[in-house]
Amino acid sequence: MELIIDVGNTRVKAAVFEKDSLKELVVFQKEKIISEVKKIIKKHKISSGIISAVATLSEDKLTKLHEILSLIELNHSTKVPFENKYKTPNTLGVDRIALAAYAAVNYSDTNVLLIDAGTCITFDFVNKKAYLGGAISPGLEMRYKSLNNYTSKLPLLKSQEPENFIGDSTNSCIHSGVVNGIVNEIDGVINQYKSKYQDLTVVLTGGDTNFLAKQLKNHIFANPNLVLEGLHKILIYNRADD
């Protein structure tokens, strides 16, 4: 079994894979990473692992993790199963690298647009195992916060599906502006890619997957754990080269 560790700003997702099947997913606070990983290793027969740290862990914690498990630490020099045509590869986020790996392995004969709806919304395009790039946009929560932070009177709201695209109160106008804005942005970007690439598969992932998927007009595949799946593909790819 393999352990996949995805470190975010405050939380960590740790997934146990057996072959291509996700057997267990554990989410915990970043400061508990050593104790939680030890629990997982004790529970499962873990043979190897990979870690992706968007928010960098301390050197002390990374050293301790390497001591308790044979880990690949994903960075820009890690071998990946796709051709990276990004002009600034050293600035490409490790989460986006993982998404590209997933697409390259699972959809090797077609074009894939991966949309990660999290803190930011990222669009990543893989053209038959070649990563070309994409776009970065503010995410759902960031948009709500910006309206509150950069104005004197607009309230900070939690995301909510608008009842009508025409808001009839300040709150309903904010929900309409933020949610409809994102939904129409995503549909618009998908349509841009479709106009150039006929054989296009669209996959939505990230924390806001379930909230946004049902509101989109375009047909998509939704998988909230795509980064973990991609990290697993990178681990298998590197292990095959050993």
**What are the binding residues?**
6-13, 86, 93-96, 116, 119, 170
Is 95 in the active site? yes
Virtual CA dihedral for 115, 118, 120, 121, nearest 10 degrees? 20
Distance CA 123, CA 162 (A): 24
142-149 LR contacts (CB < 8 Å, sep 24+):
143/178, 143/181, 143/182, 144/174, 144/178, 147/174, 147/177, 147/178
* SS3 (DSSP) at 159: coil
Catalytic residue among 20, 95, 168, 199: 95
Distance CA 119, CA 208 (A): 9
What count of Cα atoms within 13 Å lies in the side-chain half-sphere of residue 60? 1
8 A C-beta contact, residue 72 and residue 163: no
8 A C-beta contact, residue 176 and residue 163: no
Annotated binding site for substrate: which residue ranges? 86, 93-96, 170
Annotated binding site for ATP: which residue ranges? 6-13, 119
Annotated binding site for K(+): which residue ranges? 116
- Enumerate the active-site residues: 95
